[in-house]
C-alpha cells in the first residue's frame, strides 16, 4: 500500500511540475506594424482596411494605420513598431522626412513596399536604392499572369506556379538593385518585355520586401496575394522559416 502511495505521489508531483512549466511558456507577441498610406490615384480608403485586415488572417500582426506624408516628419516615427509597410502614393516629401525613412530602414527596421510606393518620392534616388527596384511608368491596366523567378525562396513556397490577376497595373522594371533578389516576374501582354513584380532587398541592416502588385480590388481581394504580402512581411521580420511557414506564434488568425 505504501509503495502505491509513493508512486501516486510521484506521479502527481510530475503533473504539477509539467503544468507549471507549460504555464511558463508564453505565446509569441503580435508583430506591431505601422501602415503608411494615402495619396492620389488609388482608393486607399477601401484598400487600407482590406490589406491590413487580410494580412492578419495569415500573420500575427497588430496594425497602426497612419495617413499622409506628415507621419514621416517625426524623427522617431517607426521606432515603436516591428515593421513599416508603405502602401501609398506620395509624389514628394521634404528632405528631412526622407532622411527619417532612410535612417529607419538602414539601421535595421524591416520594410514592406506595396504598388505605388515604388513610384513615390520621385526625386529621391536613395528611396529607390532602399526599395531595390527602379520603375517610373506602368503598362495600361490589364490582365496578366506571373511566374516564380525564385521558387525556392520561403515567400514563394506557398504561391501558385502560374498566378493570374484579372486586372492590375504592370510596373515596368528599369533596374534592380545589386542586393535585390527577384521573386516574381511577368511578361507584359502589351510589349513582351519582362518585369519584376515581387522581390527582396537588403538596405543597410534592414530587410525589404516589395511588390508592384496591388492597384485595386481585382488583385488585392485574392487570397494568394494577401498571403504573399503577409509572408513577405514575416520574412522581412525574420518570422518565416525556410519552408515558407510562419514561426510558431506568428501564424494568422485563420487557417488557409
Place of cell 536604392: 129
CB 173 within 8 A of CB 155: no
Give strand ranges (E) for 141-255.
142-148, 162-168, 175-176, 181-187, 194-203, 206-211
CB 171 within 8 A of CB 138: yes
Q: What is the CATH number of the domain that holds 79?
A: 3.40.50.880
Q: Is the pLDDT of residue 243 over 60?
A: yes
Q: Is the pLDDT of residue 16 over 70?
A: no
User: Residue 26: inside a domain, yes or no?
Assistant: no
More confident residue, 93 or 132: 132
User: Residue 206: inside a domain, yes or no?
Assistant: yes
At residue 43, the pLDDT reads 96
Query: CA 121, 126, 132: angle at the middle one, nearest 5?
Result: 95
Listed range (8-12, 43-47, 217-221, 248-252) with the worst mean pLDDT: 8-12
User: Residue 140: inside a domain, yes or no?
Assistant: yes
User: Residue 19: inside a domain, yes or no?
Assistant: no
Q: Is the pLDDT of residue 236 over 60?
A: yes
In 3D space, the residue among 117, 115, 120 whose CA is nearest the CA of residue 168 turns out to be: 115
Q: Is the pLDDT of residue 12 over 60?
A: no
Q: What digits encode the pLDDT tens for the residues 201-221?
A: 999 999 999 999 999 999 999
User: Residue 127: inside a domain, yes or no?
Assistant: yes
In 3D space, the residue among 199, 146, 197 whose CA is nearest the CA of residue 177 turns out to be: 199
In 3D space, the residue among 212, 217, 222 whose CA is nearest the CA of residue 256 turns out to be: 222
Q: How many structural domains are present in the chain?
A: 1
Measured in degrees and rounded to the nearest 5, phi and psi for residue 198 equal: -155, 140
Range of the domain at 142: 31-236
Q: Is the pLDDT of residue 102 over 60?
A: yes
Q: What digits encode the pLDDT tens for the residues 161-181?
A: 999 999 999 999 999 999 999
Mean pLDDT of 125-133: 98
Instruction: Report the mean per-residue pLDDT for the chain.
Output: 91
User: Residue 253: inside a domain, yes or no?
Assistant: no
Q: Is the pLDDT of residue 253 over 90?
A: no
CB 110 within 8 A of CB 237: yes
Residue 27: pLDDT band (50, 70, 90) is low
Amino acid at each position: 500500500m505504501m509503495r502505491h502511495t509513493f508512486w501516486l505521489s510521484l506521479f502527481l508531483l510530475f503533473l504539477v511540475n509539467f503544468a507549471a512549466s507549460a504555464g511558463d511558456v508564453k505565446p509569441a507577441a503580435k508583430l506591431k506594424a505601422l501602415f503608411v498610406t494615402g495619396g492620389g490615384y488609388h482608393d486607399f480608403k477601401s484598400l487600407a482596411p482590406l490589406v491590413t485586415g487580410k494580412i492578419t488572417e495569415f500573420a500575427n500582426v497588430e496594425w497602426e494605420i497612419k495617413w499622409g506624408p506628415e507621419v514621416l516628419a517625426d524623427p522617431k516615427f517607426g521606432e515603436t513598431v516591428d515593421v513599416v509597410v508603405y502602401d501609398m502614393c506620395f509624389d514628394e516629401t521634404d528632405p528631412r522626412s526622407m532622411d527619417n525613412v532612410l535612417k529607419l530602414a538602414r539601421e535595421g527596421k524591416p520594410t514592406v513596399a506595396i504598388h505605388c510606393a515604388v513610384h513615390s518620392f520621385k526625386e529621391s534616388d536613395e528611396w529607390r536604392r532602399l526599395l531595390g527596384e527602379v520603375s517610373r511608368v506602368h503598362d495600361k491596366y490589364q490582365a496578366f499572369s506571373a511566374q516564380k523567378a525564385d521558387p525556392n525562396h520561403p515567400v514563394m513556397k506557398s504561391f501558385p506556379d502560374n498566378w493570374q490577376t484579372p486586372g492590375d497595373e504592370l510596373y515596368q522594371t528599369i533596374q534592380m538593385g545589386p542586393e535585390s533578389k527577384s521573386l516574381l516576374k511577368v511578361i507584359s501582354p502589351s510589349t513582351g518585355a519582362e518585369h519584376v513584380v515581387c522581390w527582396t532587398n537588403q538596405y543597410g541592416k534592414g530587410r525589404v520586401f516589395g511588390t508592384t502588385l496591388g492597384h485595386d480590388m481585382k488583385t488585392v481581394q485574392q487570397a494568394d496575394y494577401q498571403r504573399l504580402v503577409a509572408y513577405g512581411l514575416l520574412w522581412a521580420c525574420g518570422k518565416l522559416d525556410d519552408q515558407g511557414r510562419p514561426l510558431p506564434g506568428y501564424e494568422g488568425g485563420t487557417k488557409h
